[in-house]
Amino acid sequence: MAREFPQSSEIWHGDNLELLAELPDESFTVIYIDPPFNTGRSQARHVTTAVRSEPGVSGSVGFKGKSYQRIRGELRTYDDTFDDYWTFLEPRLLEAWRLLGPEGTLYVHLDYREAHYAKVMLDAIFGRDSFLNELIWAYDYGAKATRRWPTKHDTILVYVKDPAQYHFDSTAVDREPYMAPGLVTPQKAARGKLPTDVWWHTIVSPTGKEKTGYPTQKPLGILRRIIQASSREGDWILDFFAGSGTTGAAARELGRNFVLIDQNPQAIEVMRRRFGMDPDADSADTVVPPLEDTPATRAAAKPKTPKAPAKPRAKAATAKAPAVKAVKTSAKTSVKAPAKAPTATKKRAARAKVTAQEPPLETEASVVAEQIVAEQVVVEAPETQVAPRPRPVPGPGLRRAVPLPESALAD
Ligand SMILES: C[S@@+](CC[C@H](N)C(=O)[O-])C[C@H]1O[C@@H](n2cnc3c(N)ncnc32)[C@H](O)[C@@H]1O
């Protein structure tokens, strides 16, 4: 039975393909995903034979008159890894397309081993004119290869649902320091510059307070920027490979609602902790308390324990205030946010402009120490079998020709 659309932000546990099917069309303004590459699946080799579309069938004729089916078949014969990857990701990307509202944007976070595969797939699903950007998240940490250029970046592919309607507000994002501030006016230097499509940002510091312990955790600063630019306050954000819940953490700070999905119980536990929920509570408790209602904020709101009598200055500087006892949250007692299920028109009417000012992203100069592990290892959940289900019927996103890169299609 389809579940009701959440009234406020929630965390869902399970295979995303099954859970996404329960969500209504066009519910989200931003979808961010950071999918695993090595799914660990061994698919039966699947070669789609060429299927030429009937002339005039909308959305089915692609590059050089080849059908989407044919392009897909050709690419999937390229190698087994790609075949596995495509089989896993394609139905989920189709769901992402269905779930995006007309102003919506999809961000797909990838590493260099997979970005090109995913780009071809996304061009085919969304259409080339829906491709907005290829963002490069550049970092610099850990060991460096000496036999090739050390790979120190991730790629985030950005696609919009409708190139004529998508929301994008570059002025809402945090600004960056100029590389050569001496070359601009002091006012400009103080204000910082608008980011480009290359974002320098540290990885999550293993000793910083942002760290959750989840191995593939991405930095909040990256997600903040994405959400600031592509959504407004009150909008709905979805991450269906949620991991430690970074997308939700950024969305929550910025006054957006969210649904986070992950199939790994450890990810659910980490997210529950991160959002001030009881990590061991019944998994039916999915509601994330609003930011004002976390143990930290409640502890801060508690009347302070009276301080010890004043001491001479020198000693007072080292004297510690009595520790404030941590409040354990039960998700059952969490207060639901008043937000309602979205409809595209309702949301648009109620939107307020985001005014939150985020601190600028850190630059290369502040990279974390070299002792950090060399590569972010993609640790994935034990695989669950995905129940076979009918392929989602492509919507009008597949409406147009699919002009794929010539190199990818060379006969
Ligand atoms: C690279 S991690 C995401 C990390 C996340 N961006 C963060 O900042 O913590 C990918 C996540 O996808 C989850 N995952 C993989 N396959 C899944 C599936 N079929 N359904 C739901 N979650 C899945 C894994 O459990 C893992 O937590």
| Cα(182)–Cα(189) distance, integer angstroms | 8
The rounded Å distance from CA 271 to ligand 1 centre is 12
- pLDDT of 303: 59
- Structure tokens, 209: 């307070």
- pLDDT of 39: 53
Residue 376 in contact with ligand 1 by CB distance below 6 A: no
Residue 241 in contact with ligand 1 by CB distance below 6 A: yes
| Cα(62)–Cα(71) distance, integer angstroms | 8
Q: What DSSP letter does each residue of 109-150 carry, written as one string?
A: EE-TTTHHHHHHHHHHHH-GGGEEEEEEEE---S---SSS--
- What is the SS3 assignment for 304? coil
Domains delineated in the chain: 10-291+331-409 (3.40.50.150)
DSSP 297: H
- Structure tokens, 378: 């993609």
Regions of the chain where pLDDT drops below 50: 40-65, 306-411
| Cα(277)–Cα(293) distance, integer angstroms | 10
Residue 126: CB atoms within 10 A of its CB come to 26
**Prediction pTM value:** 0.70
Ligand 1 atom closest to Cα of residue 92 = 19
Residue 37: CB atoms within 10 A of its CB come to 18
Q: For residues 32 and 237, is the Cβ–Cβ distance under 8 A?
A: yes
| Cα(255)–Cα(232) distance, integer angstroms | 8
Residue 16 in contact with ligand 1 by CB distance below 6 A: yes
- pLDDT of 281: 72
The rounded Å distance from CA 262 to ligand 1 centre is 6
| Cα(280)–Cα(259) distance, integer angstroms | 20
Residue 59 in contact with ligand 1 by CB distance below 6 A: no
- pLDDT of 155: 97
H-helix or E-strand spanning residue 226 = helix 220-230
List the residue whose alpha carbon is closest to atom 18 of ligand 1: 15
Residue 15 in contact with ligand 1 by CB distance below 6 A: yes
Q: For residues 329 and 276, is the Cβ–Cβ distance under 8 A?
A: yes
List the residue whose alpha carbon is closest to atom 19 of ligand 1: 15
The rounded Å distance from CA 313 to ligand 1 centre is 52
Over the stretch 294-316, which tens digit does the pLDDT of each residue have?
555 555 566 555 444 444 443 33
Residue 220 in contact with ligand 1 by CB distance below 6 A: no
- pLDDT of 68: 63
| Cα(115)–Cα(130) distance, integer angstroms | 17
